[in-house]
Structure 1
Amino acid sequence: MLNKSKANGQEFINEVATIGRIHHVNVVRLVGFCVTASKHALVYDYMPNGSLDKLIFSDCQNSSPLSWKQVCEIAKGVARGIEYLHQGCDMQILHFDIKPHNVLLDENFVPKVSDFGLAKLYPMQKSIATLTAVRGTLGYMAPELFYKRIGRVSHKADVYSYGMLLMEMAGRRRNVDAHAEHSSQIYFPSWIYDKFDQVEEMEIGDHATEEEKTITRKLILIALWCIQMTPEDRPSMREVLEMLEGDASGLRLPPKPSFYPPDSPISMQRSSDSSSSDESTAPLCSSVALEIEQMDD
């Protein structure tokens, strides 16, 4: 339900226009909509298991009701839904707000990509998106939305968001945790990369089987590829699906992900600070990127 403000009115029209052309098992189905003098309402199929964030984030570690096999199947389903948006419609649909809250689960835990209020439609032959404003949720937004010199905005922005979602699914924690026990753990992608790089054992549960450990490593490796700084270094969603459905032994470790370009003012400042401090150089929170955008040409 949305208040009938100008902004919400545009999001409402955008969502109805976008979702009306989509028919896929991993995309939420619009049943109807209602407009009154003061309210807008969208009616979707009922999703009894709610949104994904309710199941992967918990105050108690390892208490998620989802098994690792379910997590893997949900990851594949979300990837299929996004790949369909990019390649399966008459128009290319860029979602721009992929995150756990926007993945709904039906009675069989089949994932449905939802919330198309920020989506943009482009001709299939157009590879570059034109935006007049930054779109998305902090923590899931691709860096090229802030740092123009990194690359043009395209479907790879959704790939980045999916990678952040996948990382949270595999880690069962938010990617940025200011209350982490150790400063090195504040930014989860950086911390988990070091675990891989140092061939350390990951903690995924006291009773995890070898198969479950393999699934987790696979999801994290794919997520690390998806969140590469430069758009062209990220796979397409079709390639992501191939990795998810393929053998984990063929996946190699990508370059370490960074939260900001190495030549940015923030990066250079933190490099200077690190030489005189024992604190970890965990990336800053997303709000910093909004300030950096003001300095870009």
Structure 2
Amino acid sequence: MGLPYPARLPCESHVRPGSWLLVLSLLLSAPAAAQVRLDSPWIRRRMLVVPIHPEQVPPLELQVRAGVASLLLFEAPLKRGAVTLPADEKRLQLVPMDDGSLIIVPITDLSEGEQVPLTVETGPGAEPLRFALFTRPDAVDLQVRVVKNQPSVDESTVSALARSLLATADGRATLAVPQQTVDLETRASRGEAESVLWVERRFFATVAMRSRKKGSSPWRLVQARLRATLADGVLLEWPAHLFSGEAGPVRQRHILSGVLPEGASLLDLALDGEDSPGAFQPLPLEEVRTHP
């Protein structure tokens, strides 16, 4: 997949002044205790690359907080009625903008563990984007740019190498990197990132899913998400290429591939089930670069 990230994100100056007056009035109506400093370390700027089939994977997560206006930036203007919340949802104010952006202003925080679905129609022939809004104590999204998935110019080569790795015993005979393990657990299965092969900036990670219960099949992996911290502090999140081997009675192996963005300092991996998004865990970065 090509990574369509720019040198910087668009700023709030694209928003019409009149609409910002509405946003400010909403913020001023929030409880004073909910107001936060915008220079807090947990204020995040993100770029989300949408999945190829959004309806087949968990919704994109957005973290919101009372007193903070979260700005979503889309690549094209949104039509009237393109953004929908549950009919009885009154805690979230939505302000669509003419330039394709959307401002989300929570009047109160969402309850712990609660998620609110948000659906966005982005254009004719495109599958609706599904978001899940959360309130968590550790982060809030101030600016999120949503971009389309761009095909990779070397997809056939990537596919051939990934299939070759899947056909290799334990997926490690051709890997130049010692085994690295990351626990990615669910109730019934355990996922491990066993090893990573780097080819310049592209990597191939071998992931094994194992059943924890005798007689039950391994957890079904539907998506692998990657996250990198760019040089300007923006968190870039995008779906990895996913190549799955044959499922055995208790184990299934997958090869995940992606390209590390220029200037990225961290690389994380999350494994998603159909209705259960995984938590991000670090993949080896500095360690693997020391190996040939």
More helix by share: 1
Into which bin does the TM-score normalised by the smaller protein fall? under 0.3
More strand by share: 2
Q: Give TM-score scaled by structure 2 length.
A: 0.26
Structure number with greater Rg is 2
Q: Give TM-score scaled by structure 1 length.
A: 0.25
